[in-house]
A = this chain, B = another copy of it.
Amino acid sequence: MNTTVSTPLILICNDDGYQAGGIKALTAIAREMGRVVVAAPQLPQSGMSSAITVGSPLRAHQVQAGKGLEVYAVSGTPADCAKLAFNELLGGRRPHLLVSGINHGYNAGNSAIYSGTMGAVFEGLFHDVPSIGFSFDDYTPEADFGSCLPWVRQVMRQVLECGLPHGVCLNVNIPRCSGGPKGLKVTTAAAGRWVSEYERRTDPYGQPYYWMTGTFERNDPQDDSSDLYWLDRGWVSVTPCRADQTCREALQATASLLEQR
Contacts and interface: CB of A to CB of B under 8 A. Distances in A.
Contacts of A247: 165, 167-168, 240-242
A230 B241 CA distance: 27
Contact of A52 (B127, B158, B189, B212): B212
Given A54-B212, A184-B259, A193 B251 contact: no
B84 A198 contact: yes
B259 A186 contact: yes
B53 A47 contact: yes
Given A55-B46, A209-B58, A189 B245 contact: yes
Given A57-B211, A242-B247, A247-B241, A168 B254 contact: yes
Nearest to A197: B87
A57 B209 contact: yes
Contact of A251 (B188, B191, B197): B188
A191 B258 contact: no
A226 to B, nearest CB: 9
For A59, A77, A242, A248, which residue has the most chain B Cβ atoms within 10 angstroms? Answer: A242
A80 to B, nearest CB: 8
Nearest to A193: B126
Given A171-B245, A209-B58, A247-B240, A50 B165 contact: no
Interface string A240-261: 1111111110110111011111
Contact of A245 (B84, B241, B258): B241
Contacts of A55: 44, 46
Given A84-B210, A188-B244, A193-B126, A250 B198 contact: no
A127 to B, nearest CB: 7
Cβ-closest 3 pairs across A and B: A49-B49, A49-B50, A242-B247
Interface of A: 44, 46-55, 57-60, 77, 79, 83-84, 86-88, 110, 112-114, 116, 118-119, 122, 126-127, 154-155, 158-159, 162, 164-165, 167-168, 170-171, 183-186, 188-189, 191, 193-194, 196-198, 200-201, 207-212, 238-248, 250-251, 253-255, 257-261
